Amino acid sequence: MSTELSSAPARGRPRCFNLEEALDRSLLLFWAKGFQNTSLDEIAEAVGVKKPSLYAAFGDKEMLFRKVLQRYSAKLSEPIQALDRYDDVREAIDAFIELGIAGGCSQGHPRGCLLASAFADSTLLPPNLAKEITALVNEADQAVARRLKKAVRDGQLPADFDTKGTAKFLITLMHGIALRVRAGESRAALRRMKKPALRCLQ
């Protein structure tokens, strides 16, 4: 299936734009400015097409943001995958936090985390969109909770360990880290949070 659509300029031959590239450029704009502060005019300019072509390809701004979130969520898989990469739960959570910090500080895209920023602004978003963002955060909670439950089964954590509460704490920590990254805090300063966070696994 082709990922290119024709955009018809006022004059001249129609030009094609790549849907994947359009999503990536839209993602960067939403990541940098947030849903509320990003206009379809800005997205159309960044993609290099007219607004009717955007509507034809993605629908309205809310529908486009949903597609961007799906694309971004796929990029978030590395920290989650790290949870199962280590036998020791403390090493797994350490890697999970470290990869989250590294991802937020990486060059080539806005600082922080698109999902964390959107979750923080969820009361300002359309209700259905806010529900989808909350669902994505809940999925992250559940992924961490599953890893902690495995550690309980393996005898690395006590039988009465609060896996759900600790998972929510760790995801909330990651969101806080993302907001600090966005505000310009250094990677070295953020790494200092790992040791206190890992104490909850003792």
d(CA 147, CA 179) in angstroms, rounded, equals: 25
pLDDT at 12: 39
d(CA 119, CA 134) in angstroms, rounded, equals: 7
Alpha-carbon 90 to chain mean position: 23
d(CA 32, CA 87) in angstroms, rounded, equals: 36
- pLDDT, tens digit, for every residue of 125-167? 999 999 999 999 999 999 999 999 999 999 999 999 999 999 9
The answer to whether the CB of 164 falls within 8 A of the CB of 155 is: no
d(CA 103, CA 181) in angstroms, rounded, equals: 10
Mean pLDDT for the chain?
Answer: 88
Start and end residues for every CATH 1.10.357.10 domain found in the chain:
76-201
CATH code given to domain 15-70: 1.10.10.60
Start and end residues for every CATH 1.10.10.60 domain found in the chain:
15-70
Stated pTM of the model: 0.84
Band (102; pLDDT cuts 50, 70, 90): confident
Query: Is 1.10.1740.10 the CATH classification of the domain at 76-201?
Result: no
Sign of dihedral through CA atoms 77, 57, 6, 14?
A: negative
